[in-house]
Amino acid sequence: MALQILENNGSFYILGNISCENVFSMKQYIESILEKRKYVTIDITQVTRIDIQGVLTLTQIYQDALLAEKVFTIVGVGSKDLYDHFNSQRIA
Protein backbone atom coordinates (compact mmCIF):
# COMPACT_ATOMS: atom_id res chain seq x y z
CA MET A 1 0.00 0.00 0.00
CA ALA A 2 1.31 3.44 -0.90
CA LEU A 3 1.92 5.89 1.93
CA GLN A 4 -0.79 8.45 2.58
CA ILE A 5 -0.87 11.23 5.14
CA LEU A 6 -4.28 12.64 5.94
CA GLU A 7 -5.20 15.49 8.28
CA ASN A 8 -8.25 15.55 10.52
CA ASN A 9 -8.82 18.13 13.27
CA GLY A 10 -5.14 19.04 13.43
CA SER A 11 -3.86 15.48 13.70
CA PHE A 12 -2.11 13.68 10.88
CA TYR A 13 -2.88 10.05 10.09
CA ILE A 14 -0.34 7.91 8.27
CA LEU A 15 -1.76 5.04 6.23
CA GLY A 16 0.22 2.31 4.49
CA ASN A 17 3.87 1.33 4.72
CA ILE A 18 6.69 3.51 6.00
CA SER A 19 9.77 2.25 4.21
CA CYS A 20 12.99 3.32 2.55
CA GLU A 21 11.01 3.99 -0.66
CA ASN A 22 8.97 6.82 0.86
CA VAL A 23 10.69 8.13 3.98
CA PHE A 24 12.31 11.06 2.18
CA SER A 25 8.99 12.51 1.02
CA MET A 26 7.34 11.72 4.37
CA LYS A 27 10.15 13.52 6.22
CA GLN A 28 9.90 16.56 3.97
CA TYR A 29 6.14 16.72 4.43
CA ILE A 30 6.23 16.40 8.23
CA GLU A 31 9.08 18.92 8.50
CA SER A 32 7.09 21.42 6.42
CA ILE A 33 4.22 21.04 8.89
CA LEU A 34 6.59 21.48 11.85
CA GLU A 35 7.86 24.74 10.34
CA LYS A 36 4.33 26.17 10.53
CA ARG A 37 3.14 24.70 13.83
CA LYS A 38 4.40 24.37 17.36
CA TYR A 39 2.62 21.04 17.95
CA VAL A 40 2.29 18.13 15.53
CA THR A 41 0.64 14.80 16.30
CA ILE A 42 0.80 11.85 13.94
CA ASP A 43 -1.24 8.70 14.34
CA ILE A 44 0.37 5.48 13.11
CA THR A 45 -2.54 3.17 13.90
CA GLN A 46 -3.09 2.45 10.20
CA VAL A 47 0.57 1.90 9.34
CA THR A 48 0.77 -1.64 8.03
CA ARG A 49 4.56 -1.93 8.06
CA ILE A 50 7.54 0.15 9.09
CA ASP A 51 11.12 -0.79 8.24
CA ILE A 52 14.29 0.28 10.03
CA GLN A 53 14.70 3.28 7.71
CA GLY A 54 11.22 4.42 8.70
CA VAL A 55 12.04 4.10 12.40
CA LEU A 56 15.30 6.00 11.93
CA THR A 57 13.54 8.73 9.95
CA LEU A 58 10.86 9.20 12.60
CA THR A 59 13.64 9.32 15.20
CA GLN A 60 15.41 12.04 13.21
CA ILE A 61 12.19 14.06 12.85
CA TYR A 62 11.65 13.74 16.61
CA GLN A 63 15.20 14.89 17.37
CA ASP A 64 14.91 17.83 14.95
CA ALA A 65 11.60 18.85 16.54
CA LEU A 66 13.17 18.82 20.00
CA LEU A 67 16.04 21.01 18.82
CA ALA A 68 13.56 23.43 17.24
CA GLU A 69 11.54 23.45 20.49
CA LYS A 70 8.53 21.91 18.78
CA VAL A 71 6.26 19.19 20.13
CA PHE A 72 6.15 16.11 17.90
CA THR A 73 3.92 13.31 19.17
CA ILE A 74 3.38 9.85 17.73
CA VAL A 75 0.25 7.98 18.83
CA GLY A 76 -1.45 4.75 17.90
CA VAL A 77 -0.75 1.05 17.87
CA GLY A 78 2.99 0.52 17.64
CA SER A 79 3.87 3.90 19.09
CA LYS A 80 5.14 2.21 22.29
CA ASP A 81 7.81 0.40 20.25
CA LEU A 82 8.88 3.71 18.71
CA TYR A 83 8.82 5.37 22.14
CA ASP A 84 11.11 2.67 23.52
CA HIS A 85 13.43 3.13 20.54
CA PHE A 86 13.53 6.91 21.06
CA ASN A 87 14.33 6.51 24.75
CA SER A 88 17.15 4.12 23.98
CA GLN A 89 18.78 6.71 21.69
CA ARG A 90 19.71 9.18 24.45
CA ILE A 91 17.72 12.01 22.90
CA ALA A 92 18.23 15.21 24.82
pLDDT tens digit sequence for 29-80:
999 999 999 999 999 999 988 888 998 999 999 999 999 999 999 888 765 6
Gap between the Cα atoms of 8 and 22, Å rounded:
22
Residue 82 pLDDT > 90, yes or no? no
What burial class does residue 23 get, using C-beta atoms within 10 Å of its C-beta: 0-12 exposed, 13-18 middle, 19+ buried?
A: buried
Q: Which has more pLDDT, 77 or 9?
A: 9
pLDDT at 49: 86
- Output the pTM of the full model: 0.82
Domains of the chain by range and CATH?
Answer: 4-87 (3.30.750.24)
